[in-house]
């Protein structure tokens, strides 16, 4: 008697998960019921699927999750720098318009212009810029540093959330200072000498420039 050919493992998976049509499902069931080898494979697949399902219900402890994230962070940061450094043909450029300068309006409440939830002590003045007809706003809050005629700058970008962006500050002597954006798209520079600066924000195919920024 010719022995009937066993069903393959993929069919067994589909049979258990109910993905086979009625005819194929009946054919698989008839064979499995008469084949000890396929019955054993069926049990193995069921056990494996149960393990996968149980694992999916487990909540990973926060320290373990953070450790796993840190394993991939160097790769992600390297890849992010590679993407940002690639040439961008046809880059759309936008120039900023100054909306608020609290040095010109000493009675203005600087908290009205942005960074509403960010604590910023010893604030000296605030600058608010608008780009692309208000689609993007950049809020800069400037406070005196410990060194005379030097300033700390806390900035926030609104309107580009969810994108990979690069922030660079061009100093009066043309040096370029990159800054890291956190999850709230906030960045900071410390101990900047008084002078005229330019800020450049690059996101994908768009470039936003704020110039001059006079400290």
Q: What is the mean pLDDT of residues 142-154?
A: 90
User: Residue 199: is its pLDDT beyond 70?
Assistant: yes
Residue labelled with tokens 């300033």: 151
H or E segment and range at residue 140: strand 136-144
Q: What would be the CATH architecture of the domain defined by 92-214?
A: Sandwich (2.60)
How buried is residue 143: exposed, middle or buried, by Cβ count under 10 Å (0-12/13-18/19+)? middle
User: Residue 17: is its pLDDT beyond 90?
Assistant: no
Residue 176: what pLDDT?
92
Residue 9: what pLDDT?
80
Give the total residue count for the chain. 215
Contact 136, 159 (CB under 8 A): yes
Pairwise CA distance, residues 52 & 10, whole Å: 16
The domain ranges of the chain are 9-57, 92-214
Each residue's pLDDT tens digit, 157-194: 998 888 889 999 999 999 999 998 888 889 999 999 99
Q: What is the mean pLDDT of residues 121-150?
A: 84
């Amino acid at each position: 008697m010719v022995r009937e050919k066993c069903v393959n493992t993929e069919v067994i998976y589909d049979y258990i998960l109910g993905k086979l049509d009625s005819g194929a499902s009946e054919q698989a069931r008839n064979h499995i019921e008469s084949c000890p080898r396929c019955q054993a494979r069926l049990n193995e697949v069921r056990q494996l699927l149960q393990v996968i399902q149980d694992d999916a219900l487990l909540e990973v402890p926060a320290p373990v999750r953070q450790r796993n994230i840190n394993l991939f962070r160097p790769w992600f940061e390297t890849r992010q720098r590679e993407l940002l450094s690639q040439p961008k043909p046809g880059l759309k450029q936008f120039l900023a318009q100054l909306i608020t300068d609290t040095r010109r309006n000493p009675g203005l409440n600087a908290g009205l212009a942005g960074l509403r939830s960010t604590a910023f002590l010893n604030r000296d003045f605030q600058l608010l810029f608008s780009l692309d007809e208000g689609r993007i706003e950049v809020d800069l809050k400037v406070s005196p540093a410990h060194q005379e005629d030097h300033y700390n700058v806390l900035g926030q970008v609104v309107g580009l959330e969810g994108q990979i962006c690069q922030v660079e500050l061009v100093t009066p002597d043309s040096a370029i200072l990159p800054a890291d954006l956190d999850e709230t798209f906030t960045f900071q520079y410390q101990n900047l000498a008084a002078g005229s600066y330019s800020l450049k924000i690059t996101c994908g195919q768009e470039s936003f420039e704020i110039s001059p920024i006079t400290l």
